[in-house]
Structure 1
Amino acid sequence: MKILIITGIFPPDIGGPATYVPQVATGLAQRGHQVTVLTLSDHIDYDDRGYPFQVVRLSRRQFKLWRWLYTVICIVREGRNAGVLFINGLALEASVANFLLRKPMVLKVIGDFAWERARGRGWVEDDFEDFQKKHYDLKVEALKALRAWWTRRADRVITPSRYLANWIGRWGVPEEKIITVYNAVESPGDLPPVQIPLQTSLKVVTVSRLVPWKRIDKVIEVIAGLDGTGLVIVGDGPERGRLEKLATALGVTDRIYFTGARCKEETLAFMAACDVFVLNSIYEGLPHVVLEAMILGLPVVATAVGGTPEVVEDGHNGLLIEPARDISMLRKALLTMFRPYDRLRFIDGVQETSTRFALERMIDDTENILMSVVKG
Structure 2
Amino acid sequence: MNICLVSDFFFPNHGGVEEHIYNLAQCLLETGNKVIIITHSYGDRKGVRWMTNGLKVYYLPIKVFYNQCILPTMIANIPMLRNIFIREQIQIVHGHSAFSALAHEAMNIGVLMGLRAIFTDHSLFGFADLSAVVTNKFLQLSLAFCNHFICVSHIGKENTVLRGRMKSSKVSVIPNAVNCLQFTPNPINRDNNSITIVVVSRLVYRKGIDLLSSVIPYFKNRQDINFIIAGDGPKRELLEEIREKNNMQDRIQMLGALEHSEVRDVLTRGHIFLNTSLTEAYCMAIVEACSVGLHIVSTNVGGIPEVLPEKLNVILTQPDPKALINALEQTIDRIKRFRQGKSTANEITCPFRVNQIVSKLYNWSDVSARTEIIYRKVLQEPRMSLKTIMTNVLHRSGVYLFLLVISLCYVILKFLDWFYPADKIEVCPNFNERRKAKQKCQIN
Smaller-chain TM-score range?
0.7 to 0.9
1:101 aligned partner:
110
Please say which of residues 339-348 and 167-176 is displaced more in the overlay: 339-348
1:54 aligned partner:
56
State the alpha-carbon separation in 2 of the partners of residues 73 and 262 from structure 1.
37
Residues 12 and 161 (structure 1), Cα distance of their counterparts in 2 relative to 1, 3 Å cut: same
Q: CA deviation at 1:136?
A: 5.1
1:215 matched to 2:218? The reply is no
1:363 aligned partner:
368
RMSD of aligned residue pairs (Cα, Å): 3.1
1:2 matched to 2:14? The reply is no
Contact residue 14 and residue 264 of structure 1 kept, 8 A: yes
2:398 aligned partner:
none
1:372 aligned partner:
377
| Residue identity matched to 1:88 | H
1:345 matched to 2:341? The reply is no
1:230 matched to 2:226? The reply is yes
1:335 matched to 2:328? The reply is no
The 5 A counterparts of 1:55-94 are 55-58=57-60, 62=64, 74-80=80-86, 81-89=89-97, 91-94=100-103
Q: CA deviation at 1:209?
A: 1.3
State the alpha-carbon separation in 2 of the partners of residues 143 and 175 from structure 1.
20
Of 302, 306, 309, 1:306 maps to 302
Of 252, 257, 268, 1:272 maps to 268
Q: Which runs of 5+ in 2 are unaligned?
A: 382-444
Residues 44 and 298 (structure 1), Cα distance of their counterparts in 2 relative to 1, 3 Å cut: farther
| Residue identity matched to 2:59 | R
Contact residue 5 and residue 86 of structure 1 kept, 8 A: yes
Of 166, 177, 188, 1:184 maps to 177
Q: Which runs of 4+ in 1 moved over 6 A?
A: none
1:250 matched to 2:237? The reply is no
| Residue identity matched to 1:57 | Y
The CA deviation string for residues 207-237 of structure 1, in whole angstroms up to 9 with x for no partner, is 1211112123433443433322222222212
Q: CA deviation at 1:164?
A: 1.0
The CA deviation string for residues 144-193 of structure 1, in whole angstroms up to 9 with x for no partner, is 211233234321111111111122221211111110012122124499x9
| Residue identity matched to 1:79 | F
Secondary structure at the counterpart of residue 312 of structure 1? coil
The CA deviation string for residues 288-321 of structure 1, in whole angstroms up to 9 with x for no partner, is 1122112212221111111111122235431111
State the alpha-carbon separation in 1 of the partners of residues 240 and 258 from structure 2.
18
The CA deviation string for residues 227-278 of structure 1, in whole angstroms up to 9 with x for no partner, is 2222222221222222222222222222222222211110122112222211
| Residue identity matched to 2:94 | F
Contact residue 12 and residue 264 of structure 1 kept, 8 A: no
Contact residue 35 and residue 54 of structure 1 kept, 8 A: yes
The CA deviation string for residues 15-50 of structure 1, in whole angstroms up to 9 with x for no partner, is 111211111100111111111112245355497443
The 5 A counterparts of 1:23-38 are 23-38=23-38
Residues 8 and 271 (structure 1), Cα distance of their counterparts in 2 relative to 1, 3 Å cut: farther
Residues 152 and 301 (structure 1), Cα distance of their counterparts in 2 relative to 1, 3 Å cut: farther
Q: Which runs of 5+ in 1 are unaligned?
A: 116-130
- Structure-1-length-normalised TM-score: 0.82
Residues 51 and 238 (structure 1), Cα distance of their counterparts in 2 relative to 1, 3 Å cut: farther
Contact residue 20 and residue 183 of structure 1 kept, 8 A: yes
Q: Highest CA radius of gyration, 1 or 2? A: 2
Contact residue 180 and residue 359 of structure 2 kept, 8 A: no
Contact residue 75 and residue 94 of structure 1 kept, 8 A: no
Identity of aligned residues (%): 21
Secondary structure at the counterpart of residue 4 of structure 2? strand
State the alpha-carbon separation in 2 of the partners of residues 219 and 200 from structure 1.
24
Q: CA deviation at 1:142?
A: 2.7
Secondary structure at the counterpart of residue 250 of structure 2? coil
Q: CA deviation at 1:199?
A: 11
State the alpha-carbon separation in 2 of the partners of residues 337 and 220 from structure 1.
24
State the alpha-carbon separation in 2 of the partners of residues 302 and 190 from structure 1.
19
Residues 324 and 63 (structure 1), Cα distance of their counterparts in 2 relative to 1, 3 Å cut: closer
Residues 270 and 11 (structure 1), Cα distance of their counterparts in 2 relative to 1, 3 Å cut: farther
State the alpha-carbon separation in 1 of the partners of residues 272 and 116 from structure 2.
43
